[in-house]
Amino acid sequence: MIEVGGNSSANAIYEAFIPEGVSKPGPDSSHEIRSKFIRSKYELQEFLKPSLRIASGKPSASLQSSFSRKIIDSFRSTNSSQKKDVGMVEFIGLLKVKVVKGINLAIRDMMSSDPYVVLRLGQQTVQTTIVKSNLNPVWNEELMLSVPQEYGPVKLEVFDHDTFSADDIMGEAEIDIQPLLTSALAFGDPEMFGNMQIGKWLKSDDNALLEDSTINIIDGKVKQKISLKLQNVESGELELELEWMPLDQ
């Protein structure tokens, strides 16, 4: 429920295909009518997209992980003709990462630093340009990463560029992209929906988030704004914007 953005967003999934002649019970509906609707919605999953339905009583992991996997499996099967192979790796889409800016980054030279950002996903590495002598750099650069079937977090590092020695680390963080992908794949084509929140990555002691990060459909695109506190460094924050791009786009 939390991962897809709360009750209203969950209903947009579980009530996506209510047939004609079936109406949602109101406050004055009888217990029998409410019970029938609830069982149809959750147990029988009659209003869910057929390819996302999960058989009741399945002896597997949690509903969340089962639901997430079902969504991703559905996405793979419906887009199998569009998958791209690079070597032996099969990709399910593209992740656009806009590195917006850094805030109060650490000093690694005499009075300042020459920062740049490196992103890694699997065997892929991309990086921003170097900003000279700036602890509050503004990049506004878009970097692209291909997302494989078996993906992990995006690893982020900030470095200070040095001409005559090895570049100094200025902090690091990990970006969990599962909430973004799960939400995006659950809703399918975002152009069919108006602007709305569809998911959320929650701040916790186990991640580098400065605040909860919401996932939204904005002008037909699935986007997520992220504010990170850099780890293993004395100071520094980073602002990013993610956008999920399925292969059919």
Q: For the chain, which residues make up each domain, given as ranges? A: 8-18+29-54, 91-246
For the domain 91-246, what is the CATH code? 2.60.40.150
Write out the chain's pLDDT in tens, 249 residues.
665 567 776 777 788 888 888 888 988 899 889 889 888 887 777 887 665 665 444 444 445 555 555 555 544 444 444 444 445 568 889 999 999 999 999 999 999 999 999 999 999 999 999 999 999 999 999 999 999 988 999 999 999 999 999 999 999 999 999 999 999 988 888 888 899 999 999 999 999 999 999 999 999 999 999 999 999 999 999 999 999 998 766
Query: Nearest to residue 228, comparing CAs of 214, 213, 242?
Result: 213
